[in-house]
Structures are given as C-alpha cells and as structure tokens.
Structure 1
Amino acid sequence: MELIIRKAGTGDLPGILDIYNEAVLNTVATFDTVPRTLEQQTEWYGQHGDAYPILVAEREGRVIGWASANRYSDRLAYARTAELSLYIHAEYRGLGLGKRLLGRILEEGKSAGLHTVLSRIAEGNDSSIHLHRVYGFDMVGTMRQVGYKFDRLLDVIIMQKLL
C-alpha cells in the first residue's frame, strides 16, 4: 500500500500519541518517563501552527510515523530555530521511513521560514546520528549525563543543520 506523508491534523493526535508513548516506555528517544495524555498532546499540537510544522506518515489510514519542528525557546530571537522530533511506529523502524520524514520536515521547516534545526539524540542511538548526518547535520556538542532513564545516566548529542 501507498505511503502518504502529509501535514498533521487534530484527528492524527491519537496515532501520534500511541507512537510517542511507546517510545516513552521502551526507548531513550525521549526523556519523558511517563506517557502523555491526549489532552497534553492536544496542547502540544496547539503550540505549533504554521511556523512549526507537524507531519505524519500514513499507510492504509494508520499513522505509522511523525515528525515535527518544535519551538526551541520562547525568547523571540530564537523564533527561526526549531528542535526536531521524529518518531516511527515500532513495526516500521528500519525501513527508511525516518529518512523520508526527515527530508520532508526539513523542507516544510525551510518553507515556514526556519533557519536552524537542532536535534538532541541520546547516546547509543547510532542510527539516528547516521540519519542526521545523511541530511547534513553537524555534531555541535555533547551534554554529559544529563538524562536518567532505565536506571542509567545518559549523554545527549546535539546536532544542527542550517536550512
């Protein structure tokens, strides 16, 4: 079946939430440790608007991945900088979907007027680091032992791309 990548709507929030909460419970892709509620995800969605796009990957009417450009800071000088989020349903990881979503969210971000995109990647996530390098992200720093999840302290690598 055909894969569709499109802008997310409020009807996509349950699918986005399912994918995100699976990552919360089973991965270090996010440092959230408690699953989100639909109310929290709806509030998150409302913080984006045209300046910070959200995309979903859909197959047979099911959301199987999503990407978003998130406000980096509420200080106005950072308005053209975003932090990237990219999550793939567990059944579809490793099939190239992340690559397609990342390419599209960067295009959408540039069209929306963003200039800089940042990603924070937990240590050990070599596939994510590789994917970011494919799209021209540079490693700009490492924050040492800033996260604690699954009974261990984790470093976070910061990657950056100028659009």
Structure 2
Amino acid sequence: MLTAGWVRLSACAAREKEPWRAMACSVRRCVTWRSIGKKYVIVSIKTIDFPDAGRAGSSRHGEQLLRAGDVDGRAAHRGAAGGPAPRPAGAGPRATPSPPRPPRRGAHRAGRVASSRPPARPPARVIRPATPSDNAAIAAIWNREVLETAATTDTEPRTLGAQQAWLAAHGPAHPVIVAVEDGEVVAFGALSPYRPKPSYARTVEDSVYVKEGWRGKGLGGLVLDHLLALARAHGHRSVIARITAVNEPSLTLHERHGFARVGHEYQVALKHGIWLDVVTLQAVLMR
C-alpha cells in the first residue's frame, strides 16, 4: 500500500524553540512486507525560513503554508516576482513542453560539395572463346613460359604462323578460351586431344597459362572452371593434366579443382640443363 500526504507536527521540539520556523513531514511511502509482517516508513523533513520582521505571526503564516501544501514558500515568492501563480488544489498537472525533434537524417551533410571523382568500378573480366585476333597475345604468353620457365617441357617458341595453325586445329570438341580484363588478354586455356587413337576420343588434356604480372588474381581457377564445364558439355569423360613437378602452383590449382595424382614420371625431360619430373593428374567427370 502506498500513501502520500502532508502532516502537521503539533509537538515539534524545533517549533517550541524557534516559533518562526515551520516544519513539515512528508510521508513518502508506507510499504507493508507481508512475508515478515513489518512496516518501513521513509520520512523526509523540510524546513522553511520566513522573514523575521518582528517574529510575530510567523508561526501562524507557516501553518497556513503547510495546510496549502507550500512547504518551502516557493509559490508565494513566485507570485511576488511575477512568475506563474500557484496552481489551485485539485488542478491537473501542468502541460509539459514537447521535446525537441531530432535532426533529420542526412541534415548534417547539407552543404557538402559533391566529389567530382567517379566511383571506382570493378575490372571488366570476361571469359570467351579465342578468335584469330587473339593469336598474338596467346603466343606472347606461351613463348615466355617456353623461354624462361620450366612450366612446360617445350623448348621452341611459336611463330605467329605456328600459333595460327595451333588454334585452327582446335575444333568445337577441343575449345580454346581466353580471359580478357579491360580489353587485354591476360590468360588462356585449351582442351586438346589426349591421344590420336579413336578410343581416346572422350579423354582430353588441358592447359592453363596466365600472363606474367596477373598471377594470384584467380584467373587460373576461372579458366580451369570453364574448361571443365566445356568438357562436360561436350561429353568428355576424363581430363588429364601433365605438369612438371617443379610447377607447384599449377599442381595445387588442379588438385583444388578435383584432380588426383595418378602418375609420376622421373627425369623424363631435359630443359635449361635440368632433368624434370612430370606429374600426371586426372579428373573423372562422369562415373
């Protein structure tokens, strides 16, 4: 049970000693704890000082304020100073002013000058079938690997004529594709016949090459994914990859795309004065 009200202290020691000072007692809450059967009363006492001119009638004036509920004389002072008059007893609560509205979203950005710099766009990367116009770019990528690395066992660079013949020999079942980024051929891949005998017609050998300076950007995986999709589309059953053992990036790339090591040829190719091992990997597309 909660009760609140003002009570007059009729027997207050302070009042007997100083009659010009009125005291009030506010009973804020009265809480009954049913579990232990005790009551706790929280009491606050406030004092009011009045002008002591003559000290006469001050006690009676203080009692009137107590009965009116003005325990500290603020209402009287506000009325004298021209402030809002005290509210009569029983009046409803004063209307509280509405809180200020928060600023509209984006208002703090008003007045900003728009940047003239165009937004950055991702590079335009395209995988498409190779055309005769790509022969020079394909030959440049291939010849660097032939002359400077052990990524292939070939030792003779291709002329432009040899490159044109190589591309023309790849029919629909053995496609050649290129990766183009911002108009530049940066990688290529091909499916080639594995063996000339007709019984090997549905087994192909893949090759993937990425231009120097463009490695590590996901181009090799993108090209290999497309080659495997094309192999399935043409009904091929197996894809073979023959990779020199020192070409670890290519071995890892193929294994990540489902190839398994099925053979290892030791010291079968001599290039740049070094004997190279060749690892054979296979991906079976249809089981």
Name the SS for the 1:92 alignment partner: coil
Is the CA contact 2:209–2:220 (under 8 Å) kept in the aligned structure 1? yes
How far the C-alpha of 1:125 sits from its partner, in A, is: 1.4
Which residues of structure 1 form unaligned runs of 5+? none
1:132 is aligned, of 237, 254, 264, to 254
Q: CA RMSD in A?
A: 0.9
Deviations 1:38-94 (A, max 9, x none): 111111112211101111000122110000001111110011111111000001012
How far the C-alpha of 1:151 sits from its partner, in A, is: 0.9
Larger RCO (CA under 8 A, 6+ residues apart): 1
Instruction: Give the structure with the higher percent helix.
Output: 1
Distance of 2:200 and 2:132 partners within structure 1 = 26
Name the SS for the 1:130 alignment partner: helix
Distance of 1:109 and 1:11 partners within structure 2 = 24
TM-score (norm 1): 0.97
- Within-5 A mapping of 1:39-50: 39-50=161-172
1:93 is aligned, of 211, 215, 227, to 215
1:104 is aligned to 226
1:19 is aligned to 141
Instruction: Give the structure with the higher percent strand.
Output: 1
Larger Rg: 2
1:115 is aligned, of 234, 237, 253, to 237
Q: Which one-letter code corresponds to 2:284 in the other structure?
A: L
Is the CA contact 2:135–2:164 (under 8 Å) kept in the aligned structure 1? yes
2:184 is aligned, of 59, 62, 65, to 62
Q: Which one-letter code corresponds to 1:35 in the other structure?
A: P
Name the SS for the 1:160 alignment partner: strand
Identity %, equivalent residues: 39
Question: Would you say how many aligned residue pairs link Structure 1 and Structure 2?
Answer: 163
TM-score (norm 2): 0.56
